[in-house]
Amino acid sequence: LLMSGTNPTKVIPIKWQVPIPSAPTPTWSLYRTNKTEIDWRYSQYGYGINSAPSGRMDGQNLTAFGITGGSADHPANLTTTAINNAAAVTTPFAINMARAWDANYTTVTLTVNISSMGNFTASGNLVCRVVLIENEIHFPVQPGTNGEKDFNWVVRRSYPDIQTGTPMLSTWTNGQTQQIVLTCVLPSYINDKSQVAFVAFIQDDGDRKVMQAAKSTTQPVANDAK
C-alpha cells in the first residue's frame, strides 16, 4: 500500500525491528546491532507497543486517521484513506536536507535546514530526530524465525541519538529558521552503503505528534568492492 498509487509522495516509512515475540539469537541482527535505541523507542518512549507488526503514523495511533477495530494499529489495516487523512493535516514546518560522503565513504555530513511558515507552540519538548535507514536489505537465509528475508526502510542508527535528538525551541514564529549539521559516522554493521538514506522528523514529545519529515536520497559509492 505504501508504494502504490500516489502514496509514495505522501509517506516516509521507517521501521524498527523490535524483539517481538522474541529477539533473534545471533549476536548480529537488525535488532541486536541497534538494541539500545530500538528498546527505548518502542517500549520506553510511551508507545507501549507489545505486539508486532504495529504501526504509528505521524507519531500517533492509526485510529487518529480513521482506522477502527481492536487491532487498528496493525499495518495490514492501513488504508489509502487514512494516509490521505494524515497528509491533509497542515504543518508550519518545512525541512530540507543535503548530504555528502567523505573521501573514504565512512562518514556523511548531513545538513538539515528547518524553517517555519507560521506560528507554532509545542505541548512539550520539540525535537528534531535524524535516523539512518537502509532502503533495502536482503538476506539469503532468514536471520530470525519468522521466515522473513527481505527488509525495507530499517532504522540502523540515530544521530546524535534517538532519545534527545537535536532540541528545538518550543515556540516558533513565521520565518524562523534552524540549521543542524551532523557528522554521521556509519556503523560497521551497515550492509550496503549505496542503500543508506537519512530521515529527519520534527516531533513534539508532549503528545508524540510528528509535525514534519523529510528523507534524503541514497548516493552511490564509487569503486565498491561489493
Q: Which segment of 2-6, 37-41, 107-111 scores lowest on mean pLDDT?
A: 2-6
Cell numbers at 129, concatenated: 530526530
Phi and psi based region of residue 223 (left: phi greater than 0; alpha: psi -120 to 50; beta: remaining): left
Beta strands, E only, 61-195:
93-101, 107-116, 120-121, 126-138, 150-159, 166-168, 171-172, 177-185
Q: Residue 122 carries which side chain, given as an amino acid letter?
A: A
| pLDDT per residue as tens digits for the range 148-191 | 899 999 999 999 999 999 999 999 999 999 999 999 999 999 99
pLDDT reading at 224 higher than 70: no
In this predicted model, what pLDDT tens digit does every residue of 1-37 receive, in sequence order? Answer: 877 888 999 999 999 999 998 888 888 899 999 999 9
Q: What's the pTM value of the predicted model, to 2 decimals? A: 0.95
3-state secondary structure of 30: coil
Phi/psi at 80 (nearest 5 deg)? -60, -35
pLDDT class for 40, splitting at 50, 70, 90? very high
Q: Is 70 exceeded by the pLDDT of residue 66?
A: yes
Q: What are the Cα distances from residue 139, in Å, to 2, 103, 118, 171?
A: 22, 28, 46, 45
Model confidence at 225: pLDDT above 70: no
Q: Do 42 and 16 touch, CB atoms closer than 8 A?
A: yes
Q: What are phi and psi of 75, to 5 degrees?
A: -55, -25
Q: Which of 169, 187, 185 is nearest to 177 (CA)?
A: 169
